[in-house]
Amino acid sequence: MATCFRLRSCLALHLPRTPPSRVLRPRADYPVARIRGYARGPARLSSALLRTDGFVGGSWLSAAATFPVHDPASGAELGLVADCGVPEARAAVRAAYEAFCSWRGVSAKERSSLLRKWYNLMIQNKDDLAKIITAESWNFPSAMITRKVGAALAAGCTVVVKPAEDTPFSALALAALADQAGIPPGVYNVIPCSQKKAKEVGEALCTDPLVSKISFTGSTATGKVLLHHAANSVKRVSMELGGHAPFIVFDSANVDQAVAGAMASKFRNSGQTCVCSNRFLVQRGIHDSFVKKFAEAIKTNLHVGNGFEERTTQGPLINEKAVEKVEKHVSDAISKGATVVTGGKRHQVGKNFFEPTLLSNVTQDMLCSQEETFGPVAPVIKFDTEEEAVAIANVADVGLAGYFYSQDPAQIWRVAERLEVGMVGVNEGLISSVECPFGGVKQSGLGREGSKYGIDEYLELKYVCFGGL
């Protein structure tokens, strides 16, 4: 995922630029990655967009070491990426700081024009970007980065992005668009690094006195660490952390609509988004019908495979550790009495693939009821009353998204108000939209992204009192 940083107001201090010796110019023989063994033959990834160096101050920056990035579907190596450390992180902060001194003075109209050019280039290159995202097999980071960076740059901020180890190419590809769009050097910077260096790089960025805003999307555990670092210098933060979304189906619900919503909410990106439904609470009177139709929809509509294959709707999990967590949740549920309606094991396509799974007879003492699975597992809990469903939904210490299906207007208003989440989908399984504020409550984070409120996260309110004129 992505961490973005806003730089403090410009001081009367000129910091040195990154030494020329650290800068790599684009090479004519830049490698083109090939993905082998797909149904339609080798897929070429754009050499203009598939970058492997960091991006600092408008130039591509190498590092002393590299780390490999693999396609989780095939295991193929996509490239060796610059393993940036603390020196590169500090150079990125300095570059962003210098850029902020001028970028803050660019009018909103001019900034919007540059952002529009950036957007247009993304659309023009959407097929190549889609291939990169598919090769990384995780489309969520690119959406988060554009949402965060777009708001920050629109507000007149400059940013440093530290992408996740598994998915650096999306952020680096956006840097190559940004460059072509005329975004000034230093306004957008990317520092990829391996998991081994992530802790020290994150700490360096969070504790740098020139950084005044931290925006993070990731686990609640990591978010708490970053909050600790930010507290020492009282930095402003936005945190979009873990979820454990309930999906409630009341007796009055339209079953077919509820199943369609469940399919969209649970299995988008193979269950690997923080707003994916994680617990399905179904009222007793409609339970059996819902489970039957849900299982039929899973078997009929979901096709596991490589993202480069036309028929595929469910790709791999991001790595083997993620698959192991899904296996652990399923085996724990089975050992405590849950029934596997469909799926339940790794898929034969490859080691990072897991069958879309539906569990019934699930109880609250099972891991899948207590933790975010972040995978293609739908556990169904039967309930009797509205009060019981709301209590089960609210027992979690996180509250990002929640969904419920009902045709009772009075019940809709009651439940929507009582659910302890930041976003509610009523008879709707897909709720994300750029026009809407995205964020959660409790340990799901702080602040909002998207909408006008997302831009407010990157602005400070100042009161000025004039007198004596």
Q: Determine contact, residues 353/347, Cβ cutoff 8 Å.
A: yes
β partners of residue 43: 35
User: Choosing from 101, 157, 274, 368, which is the catalytic residue?
Assistant: 274
Which one-letter amino acid corresponds to residue 380? V
Q: Where are the alpha helices (DSSP H) in 352-467?
A: 367-370, 386-394, 409-418, 451-456
Q: Determine contact, residues 82/52, Cβ cutoff 8 Å.
A: yes
- HEC string of 91-118 equals HHHHHHHHHHHHHCCCCHHHHHHHHHHH
Q: How is 394-420 classified by DSSP, letter by letter?
A: HTSSEESEEEEE-S-HHHHHHHHHHS-
**How far is residue 148's CA from residue 2's CA, in Å, rounded to a whole number?**
9
**How far is residue 342's CA from residue 356's CA, in Å, rounded to a whole number?**
8
240 assigned to active site: yes
**How far is residue 146's CA from residue 367's CA, in Å, rounded to a whole number?**
33
Which two structure tokens, joined as six digits, stand for 211? 């950084």
* Closest to 265 measured CA to CA, from 250, 249, 287, 251: 249
Q: Determine contact, residues 298/356, Cβ cutoff 8 Å.
A: yes
274 assigned to active site: yes
**How far is residue 404's CA from residue 443's CA, in Å, rounded to a whole number?**
21
* Closest to 214 measured CA to CA, from 8, 461, 400, 423: 8
User: Choosing from 88, 98, 136, 240, which is the catalytic residue?
Assistant: 240
Q: Which residues are catalytic?
A: 240, 274
